[in-house]
Amino acid sequence: MDQAELPEIAHAHVAFDDGLTLECGLALRRLTVAYRTYGRLNADRSNAVLVCHALTGDQYVAEQHPLTGKPGWWEMVVGPGLPIDTDRFFVVCANVLGGCMGSTGPRSPRDDMDQPNPPRWGTDFPPVTIRDMVRAQKRLIEHLGITRLFAVIGGSMGGMQVLEWAASYPDAVFAAVPIATAANHSAQNIAFNEVGRQAIFADPDWLGGTYWAHGRVPARGLAVARMIAHITYLSEQALTRKFGRRLRGAQAAGSFDDTFEVESYLRHQGSSFVRRFDAASYLTITRATDWFDLAADHGGDLSAAFRGTRTRFCLISFSSDWLYPTAESRTIARALNRAAANVSFVEIATDKGHDAFLLDEPDFHRTLAGFLAGCAEHAGLPA
């Protein structure tokens, strides 16, 4: 397996020299937010759509990825004439705080040392929360001269950010689309994340978190973490449909090679992931998702997070998603109802599991396009 460090890339970004004080109380002296935009901001700055990426996503939503060379992760959704129509909307996506694609995170040089070439933060990077990620995005949005977002949209951990945006900055969010997400992690979600973290810690190249200093990468542990997570992104039906019990070739029974096609697929998922993602960021960001608990942040009452909101919500879940099952979206919908919010809730029937929000799901795309069109009309956006 390739043990090379992630290449250094010059990502488009903005730097805030006044930094950011985190929820944990620690202050980053300098905050960098790497981001990409698509489409054009209109004259009254009313057509901005913030897309929030998932755990291992990034800001390269609708263009070739600079590391992998692959298409952007939401090219089916964001673009001219697509559900998030870049002929109409100005789309912004920022790499999350704690990430590894240009925003401040464990790979950034420490800013708490007065020396010319400080080491990287590594595992000393302060813990960040979903709220911290959203506060960093807010800084970017203000920097772009945008007071109110037409919409905030995201799936999975991106959906948590959408919920946090709506709760923290209700007047800045006209419409919110939390997709395949939850207001907190179940014990099972925490458990899967924890096993992934333990796999990273068990890698000999983890070196107690000092791997960068030794030119190493805990690639095998990170790959195992990705493989575990990847299973949870799919459904049993999707795995059966894609692979079943098909063998790769006429190999002998009992070999520990990847004799089943599903094994080969998983190994590929693991090894390609480590070429684009950093282990310390994986730890930092999974922790943020485990700690996210919007009800707990509002006195144990999820509806209190949305009291008085005028944001229009569209909750979308997928019937075969067992990582963030429909019941989680239903919990959010009920809380929004208790807060007398404007909310629609759609469960998309699919056997593709959690990953459906990234795949070709015409019903999902129609739902998203329809909701945004209706909101644009209410907001008085030119057609």
Q: Provide, rounded to whole angstroms, the least separation between the CB of residue 237 and a copy of itself.
A: 9
Q: Does 254 bind a copy of itself (CB under 8 A)?
A: yes
CA distance 181 to 109: 32
**Closest by CA position to 174, among listed 207, 147, 212:** 147
Q: Does 354 bind a copy of itself (CB under 8 A)?
A: no
In contact, 353 and 233? CB cutoff 8 Å: yes
Check 235, 321, 329, 355 and give the catalytic one.
321
Q: 271 an active-site residue?
A: no
Alpha-carbon distances, residue 271 vs 212, 267, 335 (angstroms): 19, 6, 41
Q: 203 an active-site residue?
A: no
CA distance 38 to 81: 13
Q: Which position among 109, 118, 119, 244 is part of the footprint of a copy of itself (CB under 8 A)?
A: 244
Q: Which is nearer to a copy of itself, 252 or 383 (CB)?
A: 252
Check 156, 281, 303, 317 and give the catalytic one.
156
Q: Which position among 239, 369, 373, 379 is part of the footprint of a copy of itself (CB under 8 A)?
A: 239
Q: Which is nearer to a copy of itself, 71 or 204 (CB)?
A: 204
CA distance 277 to 270: 11
Kindly determine how many residues on this chain lie close enough to bind a copy of itself according to the rule CB under 8 A. 59
In contact, 335 and 302? CB cutoff 8 Å: yes
Q: 255 an active-site residue?
A: no
Q: β-strands 27-28, 20-21: how paired?
A: antiparallel
Tokens at 195, concatenated: 């096993």
CA distance 69 to 41: 27
Q: Provide, rounded to whole angstroms, the least separation between the CB of residue 25 and a copy of itself.
A: 9
Q: Does 243 bind a copy of itself (CB under 8 A)?
A: yes
SS3 state at 146: coil
Q: Which position among 107, 138, 220, 312 is part of the footprint of a copy of itself (CB under 8 A)?
A: 220
Q: Which is nearer to a copy of itself, 267 or 275 (CB)?
A: 267
Q: Which helix H or strand E contains 50, and what residues bound it?
A: strand 48-52
Using CB under 8 A as the criterion, what x/- string covers residues 35-74 for binding a copy of itself?
----------------------------------------
Query: Which range binds a copy of itself by CB under 8 A, 11-19, 73-81, 102-110, 230-238?
Result: 230-238
Q: Provide, rounded to whole angstroms, the least separation between the CB of residue 26 and a copy of itself.
A: 10
Q: Does 370 bind a copy of itself (CB under 8 A)?
A: no
CA distance 124 to 252: 47
CA distance 176 to 165: 8
CA distance 62 to 167: 27
Q: What are phi and psi of 292, to 5 degrees?
A: -60, 130
Q: Residue 116: how many CB atoms within 10 A of its CB? A: 5
Any idea which residue has 């939401």 for tokens?
74
Using CB under 8 A as the criterion, what x/- string covers residues 288-307 for binding a copy of itself?
x-xx-x--------------
Q: Which position among 45, 139, 267, 276 is part of the footprint of a copy of itself (CB under 8 A)?
A: 267
Q: Does 231 bind a copy of itself (CB under 8 A)?
A: yes
| Order of strands across the sheet that contains 31-38 | 13-16, 31-38, 90-94, 48-52, 149-155, 173-179, 312-318, 342-348
SS3 state at 316: strand
In contact, 173 and 165? CB cutoff 8 Å: yes
Q: Provide, rounded to whole angstroms, the least separation between the CB of residue 106 and a copy of itself.
A: 12
Q: Provide, rounded to whole angstroms, the least separation between the CB of residue 214 and a copy of itself.
A: 14
Q: Which position among 161, 284, 303, 367 is part of the footprint of a copy of itself (CB under 8 A)?
A: 284
Q: Provide, rounded to whole angstroms, the least separation between the CB of residue 378 and a copy of itself.
A: 37
Per CB under 8 A, residues contacting a copy of itself are 23-24, 123, 126-129, 184-188, 190-192, 194-195, 197-199, 201-204, 220-221, 223-224, 227-228, 231, 234, 236, 239-240, 242-245, 252-256, 258, 260, 262-263, 266-267, 270, 283-284, 287-288, 290-291, 293, 322
